[in-house]
Amino acid sequence: MPLLHRRLVLGAAGLGLLGRLPAARAQARNVIDTLAGDSRFNRFVELVSRAGAVDQFRSANLITVFAPTGDAFNHASAALINNLLAQGSGGGGEQGGGGTLSGASPDLLRLRSLIAYHVISGVALTPAEMAGDHQIKTVAGGVVRIAEQNGVIALTNPAPEQQSSTFGAGGLNVGAPAVIDGPGIPATNGVIYPITQLLYP
């Protein structure tokens, strides 16, 4: 993927902020294998796997993935994540880090919606393309706002009450901005950006 690598390097060089987002070495792996090879994304990969969405990340179509890190999950509602995974029904505490999945089925509709809200289809966005203030349609169908200010690129749900999703009830899709926290990681079918919060559709 020399062209993608070159675009990322040029994009990072073109804007001052974007010195904070240098391009990583080109990968010879697809997006899901690249995510699985980086321990920061273990919990996100678990969600993708439990949702049966692995093939979406292996597709030949270009994608941009805003992947929450483990720290992002530490800031998320443990009760919500456990509920999506149908985790902890066998008893034992709310949180604790290790909980067993106890054979229960995940809430596939909401889990896939959550995952798809972190994915932009058809493009491997460069840092330069994310400069400014944009609203971009996600695979989930709703839009995410990408705004750069003072060298920081943040992502938010621009209209939590209007998104066509399953997370709006009770303000569940209102959250702190997710900040891109590290360089873009190119893969054979797209690019991954680590983010500091989960995005709720």
**Helices within 23-172 (DSSP H only):** 31-36, 42-50, 54-58, 70-75, 78-84, 108-116, 127-130
Question: Closest by alpha carbon to 144, among 168, 120, 121, 127?
Answer: 120
Is 80 exceeded by the pLDDT of residue 13?
no
The position carrying tokens 């390097």 is 9
What predicted TM-score, i.e. pTM, was given to this entire model? 0.77
Kindly calculate the radius of gyration of the chain based on its CA atoms and give it in whole angstroms: 17
Strands (E), the chain: 63-68, 119-121, 133-137, 143-149, 152-156, 178-179, 185-187, 190-195
Q: Does domain 2-88+102-129+181-195 have CATH number 2.30.180.10?
A: yes
Is 50 exceeded by the pLDDT of residue 24?
no
Rounded CA-CA distance 127/125 in Å is 7
Domain boundaries, the chain: 2-88+102-129+181-195
Q: What percent of the chain has pLDDT over 90?
A: 56
Q: What single letter denotes the amino acid at residue 28?
A: A
The three-point CA angle 131-74-111 to 5° equals 75
Q: For the segment 93-117, what is each residue's pLDDT rounded down to a tens digit? A: 334 443 444 457 888 998 999 999 9
pLDDT at 159: 80
As a whole number, the mean pLDDT across the chain is: 80
Between 78 and 97, name the one with better pLDDT: 78
CB neighbours of residue 87 within 10 Å: 19
Is 50 exceeded by the pLDDT of residue 152?
yes
Instruction: Please state, in angstroms and as integers, the Cα–Cα distance from residue 69 to each residue in 92, 185, 198, following that order.
Output: 25, 13, 9
pLDDT at 174: 60
In the chain, DSSP finds a helix count (H) and a strand count (E) of 8, 8
Between 175 and 118, name the one with better pLDDT: 118
Question: Closest by alpha carbon to 74, among 198, 176, 167, 180?
Answer: 198
